[in-house]
Protein backbone atom coordinates (compact mmCIF):
# COMPACT_ATOMS: atom_id res chain seq x y z
CA UNK A 1 0.00 0.00 0.00
CA UNK A 2 1.12 3.53 -0.67
CA UNK A 3 0.17 4.24 2.95
CA UNK A 4 2.99 1.99 4.21
CA UNK A 5 5.43 3.72 1.87
CA UNK A 6 4.32 7.08 3.25
CA UNK A 7 4.86 5.82 6.80
CA UNK A 8 8.34 4.66 5.81
CA UNK A 9 9.16 8.06 4.31
CA UNK A 10 7.89 9.79 7.45
CA UNK A 11 10.02 7.56 9.67
CA UNK A 12 13.06 8.20 7.46
CA UNK A 13 12.48 11.90 7.95
CA UNK A 14 12.30 11.40 11.70
CA UNK A 15 15.48 9.34 11.59
CA UNK A 16 17.37 12.03 9.66
CA UNK A 17 16.06 14.66 12.06
CA UNK A 18 17.28 12.52 14.98
CA UNK A 19 20.73 12.32 13.41
CA UNK A 20 20.82 16.10 12.99
CA UNK A 21 19.77 16.45 16.63
CA UNK A 22 22.54 14.00 17.58
CA UNK A 23 25.11 16.30 15.98
CA UNK A 24 23.69 19.35 17.74
CA UNK A 25 23.64 17.65 21.15
CA UNK A 26 27.17 16.34 20.59
CA UNK A 27 28.30 19.90 19.93
CA UNK A 28 26.66 21.43 23.01
CA UNK A 29 27.09 18.53 25.46
CA UNK A 30 30.43 19.46 27.02
CA UNK A 31 30.03 18.05 30.53
CA UNK A 32 31.42 14.56 31.31
CA UNK A 33 28.02 13.34 32.42
CA UNK A 34 26.48 14.32 29.10
CA UNK A 35 28.77 12.23 26.88
CA UNK A 36 26.15 9.50 26.37
CA UNK A 37 23.27 11.84 25.44
CA UNK A 38 24.17 11.97 21.71
CA UNK A 39 24.57 8.19 21.69
CA UNK A 40 21.07 7.67 23.05
CA UNK A 41 19.63 9.94 20.35
CA UNK A 42 21.69 8.08 17.73
CA UNK A 43 20.15 4.83 18.96
CA UNK A 44 16.70 6.31 18.29
CA UNK A 45 17.78 7.11 14.72
CA UNK A 46 19.12 3.56 14.39
CA UNK A 47 15.76 2.21 15.55
CA UNK A 48 13.98 4.26 12.90
CA UNK A 49 16.43 2.88 10.33
CA UNK A 50 15.66 -0.74 11.25
CA UNK A 51 11.92 -0.11 10.86
CA UNK A 52 12.22 1.69 7.50
CA UNK A 53 14.56 -1.01 6.19
CA UNK A 54 11.93 -3.63 6.97
CA UNK A 55 9.24 -1.53 5.29
CA UNK A 56 11.49 -0.93 2.27
CA UNK A 57 12.26 -4.64 1.85
CA UNK A 58 8.56 -5.47 2.02
CA UNK A 59 7.62 -2.81 -0.53
CA UNK A 60 10.53 -3.53 -2.88
CA UNK A 61 10.76 -7.31 -2.96
CA UNK A 62 7.27 -8.53 -2.10
CA UNK A 63 3.66 -7.89 -3.03
CA UNK A 64 2.44 -8.17 0.56
CA UNK A 65 1.19 -4.59 0.58
CA UNK A 66 -0.22 -4.60 -2.92
CA UNK A 67 0.94 -2.48 -5.84
CA UNK A 68 3.41 0.31 -5.11
CA UNK A 69 4.25 2.73 -7.91
CA UNK A 70 7.91 2.47 -9.08
CA UNK A 71 8.45 6.19 -8.51
CA UNK A 72 7.26 5.81 -4.91
CA UNK A 73 9.63 2.89 -4.39
CA UNK A 74 12.54 4.84 -5.83
CA UNK A 75 11.95 7.95 -3.72
CA UNK A 76 11.38 5.87 -0.59
CA UNK A 77 14.54 3.81 -1.06
CA UNK A 78 16.51 7.00 -1.79
CA UNK A 79 15.57 8.24 1.68
CA UNK A 80 16.47 4.86 3.19
CA UNK A 81 19.86 4.94 1.47
CA UNK A 82 20.66 8.44 2.73
CA UNK A 83 19.36 7.57 6.20
CA UNK A 84 21.52 4.44 6.42
CA UNK A 85 24.69 6.16 5.23
CA UNK A 86 24.12 9.11 7.56
CA UNK A 87 23.57 6.76 10.51
CA UNK A 88 26.89 5.05 9.80
CA UNK A 89 28.85 8.29 9.46
CA UNK A 90 27.28 10.10 12.42
CA UNK A 91 28.32 7.24 14.70
CA UNK A 92 31.90 8.22 13.98
CA UNK A 93 31.28 11.61 15.59
CA UNK A 94 30.46 10.04 18.96
CA UNK A 95 33.91 10.24 20.47
CA UNK A 96 34.01 9.22 24.12
CA UNK A 97 32.12 5.94 23.74
CA UNK A 98 34.87 3.85 22.20
CA UNK A 99 35.13 5.76 18.92
CA UNK A 100 38.72 6.71 18.08
CA UNK A 101 40.64 7.66 14.94
CA UNK A 102 40.93 4.03 13.84
CA UNK A 103 37.19 3.41 14.17
CA UNK A 104 36.48 6.65 12.32
CA UNK A 105 38.74 5.49 9.49
CA UNK A 106 36.90 2.18 9.28
CA UNK A 107 33.51 3.91 9.26
CA UNK A 108 34.58 6.34 6.54
CA UNK A 109 35.93 3.50 4.39
CA UNK A 110 32.67 1.58 4.88
CA UNK A 111 30.70 4.63 3.77
CA UNK A 112 32.96 5.03 0.75
CA UNK A 113 32.41 1.39 -0.22
CA UNK A 114 28.63 1.83 0.07
CA UNK A 115 28.78 4.77 -2.33
CA UNK A 116 31.07 2.91 -4.74
CA UNK A 117 28.72 -0.10 -4.68
CA UNK A 118 25.88 2.23 -5.65
CA UNK A 119 27.91 3.55 -8.58
CA UNK A 120 28.78 0.00 -9.64
CA UNK A 121 25.20 -1.26 -9.57
CA UNK A 122 23.83 1.79 -11.37
CA UNK A 123 26.35 1.65 -14.21
CA UNK A 124 26.10 -2.13 -14.51
CA UNK A 125 22.30 -2.11 -14.57
CA UNK A 126 22.26 0.82 -16.99
CA UNK A 127 24.48 -1.04 -19.47
CA UNK A 128 23.32 -4.54 -18.50
CA UNK A 129 20.93 -4.97 -21.38
CA UNK A 130 23.60 -3.84 -23.85
CA UNK A 131 26.16 -6.22 -22.34
CA UNK A 132 23.84 -9.24 -22.43
CA UNK A 133 22.55 -8.51 -25.93
CA UNK A 134 22.87 -11.66 -28.02
CA UNK A 135 23.34 -13.97 -25.03
CA UNK A 136 20.13 -15.86 -25.88
CA UNK A 137 21.55 -16.70 -29.30
CA UNK A 138 24.91 -17.85 -27.99
CA UNK A 139 26.94 -14.74 -28.81
CA UNK A 140 29.14 -15.24 -25.76
CA UNK A 141 32.33 -13.78 -27.27
CA UNK A 142 30.54 -10.60 -28.34
CA UNK A 143 28.95 -10.29 -24.90
CA UNK A 144 32.32 -10.81 -23.20
CA UNK A 145 33.93 -8.17 -25.39
CA UNK A 146 31.30 -5.62 -24.39
CA UNK A 147 31.67 -6.60 -20.75
CA UNK A 148 35.43 -5.98 -20.89
CA UNK A 149 34.97 -2.41 -22.12
CA UNK A 150 32.16 -1.61 -19.71
CA UNK A 151 34.11 -3.08 -16.78
CA UNK A 152 37.11 -0.94 -17.76
CA UNK A 153 35.03 2.24 -17.75
CA UNK A 154 33.33 1.18 -14.52
CA UNK A 155 36.68 0.41 -12.90
CA UNK A 156 38.02 3.84 -13.78
CA UNK A 157 34.92 5.53 -12.34
CA UNK A 158 35.03 3.50 -9.12
CA UNK A 159 38.79 3.97 -8.70
CA UNK A 160 38.36 7.71 -9.25
CA UNK A 161 35.64 7.88 -6.60
CA UNK A 162 37.80 5.93 -4.13
CA UNK A 163 40.83 8.13 -4.84
CA UNK A 164 38.76 11.28 -4.33
CA UNK A 165 37.38 10.06 -1.02
CA UNK A 166 40.84 8.90 0.10
CA UNK A 167 42.21 12.39 -0.52
CA UNK A 168 39.32 13.85 1.45
CA UNK A 169 39.89 11.39 4.30
CA UNK A 170 43.64 12.08 4.50
CA UNK A 171 43.39 15.87 4.37
CA UNK A 172 40.32 16.70 6.45
CA UNK A 173 39.16 16.08 9.98
CA UNK A 174 36.65 13.21 10.23
CA UNK A 175 33.66 15.48 10.77
CA UNK A 176 34.43 17.48 7.62
CA UNK A 177 35.39 14.39 5.61
CA UNK A 178 32.16 12.64 6.62
CA UNK A 179 30.23 15.74 5.61
CA UNK A 180 31.88 15.77 2.19
CA UNK A 181 31.14 12.08 1.67
CA UNK A 182 27.54 12.55 2.78
CA UNK A 183 26.99 15.50 0.43
CA UNK A 184 28.63 13.61 -2.45
CA UNK A 185 26.51 10.51 -1.86
CA UNK A 186 23.26 12.45 -1.41
CA UNK A 187 23.90 14.54 -4.54
CA UNK A 188 24.73 11.41 -6.54
CA UNK A 189 21.61 9.57 -5.42
CA UNK A 190 19.30 12.55 -5.94
CA UNK A 191 20.69 13.26 -9.42
CA UNK A 192 20.25 9.64 -10.48
CA UNK A 193 16.71 9.55 -9.09
CA UNK A 194 15.87 12.76 -10.97
CA UNK A 195 17.44 11.36 -14.15
CA UNK A 196 15.58 8.06 -13.92
CA UNK A 197 12.36 9.81 -12.91
CA UNK A 198 12.23 11.44 -16.33
CA UNK A 199 12.43 8.12 -18.16
CA UNK A 200 9.25 6.43 -19.29
CA UNK A 201 8.59 3.05 -17.75
CA UNK A 202 5.50 0.90 -18.27
CA UNK A 203 3.67 0.56 -14.98
CA UNK A 204 1.77 -2.59 -14.10
CA UNK A 205 -1.53 -2.70 -12.28
**pLDDT tens, 40-77?**
999 999 999 999 999 998 888 877 766 777 777 888 88
Looking at the fold, whether 88 and 129 belong to one and the same domain comes out as: no
Do 58 and 82 belong to one domain?
Answer: yes
φ and ψ of 68, to 5 deg: -125, 130
- The reply to whether 124 and 69 lie within a common domain is no
CA count, 13 A, side-chain hemisphere, 64: 11
Q: Which of 99, 128, 143 is the last residue of a domain?
A: 99
If one counts the domains in the chain, the total is: 2
Whole-model pTM? 0.84
pLDDT of 64-74, one tens digit each?
766 777 777 88
83 with 130, same domain: the answer is no
pLDDT digits (tens, 9 = 90+) for 5-21: 888 889 999 999 999 99
* Shared domain check, 81 and 50: yes
Residue 104 falls inside a structural domain? no
Domain range spanning residue 160? 114-205
Amino acid sequence: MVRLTTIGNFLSGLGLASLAFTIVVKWIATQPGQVLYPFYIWLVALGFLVVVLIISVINTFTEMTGFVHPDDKMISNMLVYIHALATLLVYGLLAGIGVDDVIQGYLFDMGTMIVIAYIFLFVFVFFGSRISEGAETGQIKEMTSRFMLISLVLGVIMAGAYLLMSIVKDNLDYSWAAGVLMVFAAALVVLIVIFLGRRYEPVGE
